[in-house]
Amino acid sequence: MSSKKIFGIVLAGGEGKRLMPLTADRAKPGVPFGGNYRLIDFALSNLINSGLRQIVVLTQYKSHSLDRHVSQTWRLSGLTNSYVASVPAQQRLGKRWFAGSADAILQSLNLLRDEKPDIVVVVGADHVYRMDFSQMVAAHIESGAGVTVAAIRQPIALADQFGVIEVSPDDPTRIKAFHEKPKNPIGLADSPGEVLASMGNYIFDADVLMDAVIRDGELPDSDHDMGGDIVPWFVSKNDAAVYDLNRNEVPGATDRDRYYWRDVGTIESFFDAHQDLISALPVFNLYNTAWPIFSQQLNSPPAKFVRDSSGNLGTTIDSIVSLGSVLSGAHIERSVLGPWATIGGGAKVTDSIVFDRVKIGPDAVVRRAILDKEVVVEAGATIGVDADADRARGFTVTDSGITVVGKGVHVSA
């Protein structure tokens, strides 16, 4: 990490409407992921592994479980003036909540004035990836730009799903234009079939960030958004650089997951990201000990696989099973089970995501579904077998056929 003083800001106030009902009772960054994690753990792990030791998490929407997770999990004990602190909306500029990500920083400028950093790393809290930000900081300093935007290469056919960065033909590290979900994108000079998509991660010189959000706060027609307002302003001044994730080398990365990044902003992308975890050679490898993803260490017994009352042992294939879970003669395939899940004899769970303390009774069938915390599925009940029946019971069913059952729902046979 640079000798300059670096400060981290995690933007974690998002409502996450497209992840409903998983966000009905929690902020999007607090949504469980991968059995033992929360979405915010990926951003915080990357910052900590990169050497940052002063990090604030700006929260707003239904933040109780997220604030609790940060306070219980992210203690930097024994390190002088080192912390990960959850900072809720404080209404320092009047009786109003955050109007956007830039406004969140504007209303939290006291944090920067107190710490007086040289450089500020601003990241989102709801993406799954690994990244060494110390390398991006070095590139930012070398560029001399006011802001550097992290970008990942994506197929040009997917450009209309992202904010797309157009680089200068004279200097591929300088941003010429920023296009929000373009219909007719321009491919990269060295790879015409790809574009550079913004990852929602930024590095600023601290003084120019403060000036930018103060200026933006005075504009009545601004949406006060980092990607939509602040970055384009820097681009208009030719003061924005881009950092291609292809330049980033993370210890322990494999060729298969080296440049993995996924925005899990929809039920479909959330589901697909879990499928990326479970193969023998996973697309995203949770077992990289050289760049670990940290989370709360539960005081739980190991997972247990036992025969049911009829002596059936059951099978578990291509799945993740978390601590405290008990599987009794059940068939589990291509699924992720959270802590303290219990699955009864003869039950079949396939292509599914099961959160903490879910109970699935004997002979129940759960297929291509997401079950939030403490869902109870009675013996013989089915989920994901009949989409119309699931909708009639009030469950969310996506266009691709993923059934989502909200927190604490009791599913009868």
Q: How many CA atoms lie within 13 A of 226 on its CB side?
A: 26
CATH of the domain at 384: 2.160.10.10
Residue 1 pLDDT: 56
Backbone phi and psi for residue 369, each to the nearest 5 degrees, phi listed first: -140, 160
| Most confident by average pLDDT, 102-106, 276-280, 387-391 | 387-391
The answer to the question of residue 87 being in a domain is yes
- Average pLDDT rounded to a whole number, residues 377-406: 96
Which residues in 271-301 are b (16+ Cβ under 10 Å) and which e? bebbbbbbeeebbbbeebeebebebbeeeee
Q: What is the pLDDT of residues 168-212, one digit of tens each?
A: 888 888 999 988 888 888 888 888 999 999 999 999 999 999 999
The answer to the question of residue 206 being in a domain is yes
Count CB-CB contacts under 10 A for residue 160. Answer: 14
CATH of the domain at 10: 3.90.550.10
Please tell me the distance from the alpha carbon of residue 325 to that of residue 358, in angstroms, as a whole number: 9
Q: What is the mean pLDDT of the chain?
A: 91
The answer to the question of residue 297 being in a domain is no
| Residue 394: partners with Cβ closer than 8 Å, 6 or more residues away | none
Same domain as 239, residue 185: yes
For residue 232, pLDDT over 70 is answered with yes
For residue 58, pLDDT over 80 is answered with yes
| Most confident by average pLDDT, 22-31, 66-75, 278-287, 375-384 | 375-384
> Does the annotation flag 198 for ligand binding?
yes
Whole-structure pTM value: 0.92
> Does the annotation flag 407 for ligand binding?
no
The answer to the question of residue 280 being in a domain is no
The answer to the question of residue 238 being in a domain is yes
Please give the residue range of the domain that contains residue 47.
6-275
Q: What is the pLDDT of residues 313-351, one digit of tens each?
A: 899 999 999 999 999 999 999 999 999 999 999 999 999
Residue 201 pLDDT: 96
Domain count along the chain: 2
Same domain as 160, residue 68: yes
> Does the annotation flag 237 for ligand binding?
no
Share of the chain above pLDDT 90, in %: 67
The answer to the question of residue 390 being in a domain is yes
Same domain as 176, residue 123: yes
For residue 92, pLDDT over 70 is answered with no
Same domain as 127, residue 13: yes
Residue 169 pLDDT: 82
For residue 123, pLDDT over 60 is answered with yes
Place 17 in a pLDDT band, splitting at 50, 70 and 90. confident
The answer to the question of residue 285 being in a domain is no
The answer to the question of residue 299 being in a domain is no
- Average pLDDT rounded to a whole number, residues 145-161: 93
Q: Specify the length of the chain in residues.
A: 413
> Does the annotation flag 348 for ligand binding?
no
Residue 2 pLDDT: 62
- Average pLDDT rounded to a whole number, residues 16-39: 91
User: SS3 for the chain, per residue?
Assistant: CCCCCEEEEEEECCCCHHHCCCCCCCCHHHCEECCCEECHHHHHHHHHHCCCCEEEEEECCCCHHHHHHHHHHCCCCCCCCCEEEEEECCCCCCCCCCCCHHHHHHCCHHHHHHHCCCEEEEEECCEEECCCHHHHHHHHHHHCCCEEEEEEEEEHHHHHHCEEEEECCCCCCEEEEEEECCCCCCCECCECCEEEEEEEEEEEEHHHHHHHHHHHHCCCCCCCCHHHHHHHHHHHCCCEEEEEHHHCCCCCCCCCCCCCEEECCCHHHHHHHHHCCCCCCCCCCCCCCCCCCCCCCCCCCCCEEECCCCCCCCEEECCEECCCCEEECCEEECCEECCCCEECCCCEEECCEECCCCEECCCCEEECEEECCCCEECCCCEECCCHHHHHHCCCEECCCCCEEECCCCEECC
Same domain as 258, residue 309: no
